[in-house]
A and B are shown apart, each in its own frame.
Chain A
Amino acid sequence: MTEAGEAGASASASLAGRTYPAVTFDIDPARVDAYARAIGADPADGVPPTFAAVYSLGATAPQLFGDPEAAIDFARLLHAEQEFVWSRHPKPGETVSSQGRIDTDISRRGMRFVTFETQTRGAGGDEICRSRALFVIRS
C-alpha cells in the first residue's frame, strides 16, 4: 500500500458522507410491466426484485451524476459492482422514498472509486431496500 497523497491521486476532495435529499418514486404498474418484459420476467409475477435498480438506485443516482461538486464524467463512468438487500419488496401503486449517500470516495492511480448507497423506505416509513453501487471513473 502507498501513502495518502501519492502521485496520481486526485486533487479533488473526497465527498464521502455527502447525503442527498430523499426523492419519492411511485411504483407505477405500467412501468413495472415494461421493466418485467425487458428482463424476460412474467409481469404476472409482480414487481421483479431488481426493479430496485429503478425505484432505489435509479431514483437517486441522477442526483450524484448531476452534482457539480461530485464532477462525475458520465462518459468515463463504469458501474463495477452492485448489491441490493431487501426487507420486503414494494407493492404496485406504492409510493416509496429513496435517499442516496456517498459512502466512500477514493482516488488512486488515476482512477476514482465511489461507493454510493441508497436507502429506500416504503409508504409506511419502513426500510424496504438498500442499494450499494460501486462506480469507477477513469481519468
Chain B
Amino acid sequence: MKRTVTFTNEQIAAYAEASGDHNPIHLDDGFARSVGLPGRIAHGLLQMGIAGTVAAEAAGGGARLRRIRCRFAGMVVPGDTVTFTAEPAGPHKLDLGAVNQRGEPVLTKAGAEYG
C-alpha cells in the first residue's frame, strides 16, 4: 500500500485548525526561523495521520487498527513530496515508511498492528 503526498501550506493550516495544534512553527515562517527552523514545518502528527490512512487501508479498515507508532526523524516543509508505505511484517503487523523526494526517511521505527 502506498500514498504520495505533496505538502502545502493549505493542508498544514487545515490540520492545525482541525487538530487544535496552532504552534506557530507550523504556521508562521518568521517565527519558525526565529527558533532555528528553515521556515514553517508540517506537524509530525499530520505525517502520522497520513501514515495512519495507509495503515488503515492495508489493515482492511481503520476500525481494525490496534496500535501505531513512529519516530519523527526528519522535518517536512511545504513543497516536500513524501511517499507513505505500509507493508506486511508478520501476522497482523505492518511496517510503515515515509520517505521524501530526496530519499530521506521522515518517519522511522514506524509500524502498526491490527486485529
Contacts and interface: CB of A to CB of B under 8 A. Distances in A.
Contact of B5 (A40, A48, A75): A40
Contact of A50 (B35, B45, B63): B45
Interface size class of A (residues with CB under 8 A): 20 to 34
B23 A74 contact: yes
Contacts of A83: 67-70
A81 B35 contact: no
B18 A38 contact: yes
A61 B11 CA distance: 23
Interface in B37-89: 44-46, 48-50, 52-53, 56, 61-63, 65-72
Nearest to B51: A50
Contacts of A89: 62-63, 65
B72 A79 contact: yes
Given A40-B3, A50-B48, A58 B62 contact: no
Contacts of A64: none
Interface string A67-108: 000000011101111111110010000000000000000000
Interface of B: 3, 5, 11, 14-15, 17-21, 23, 25, 34-35, 44-46, 48-50, 52-53, 56, 61-63, 65-72, 109
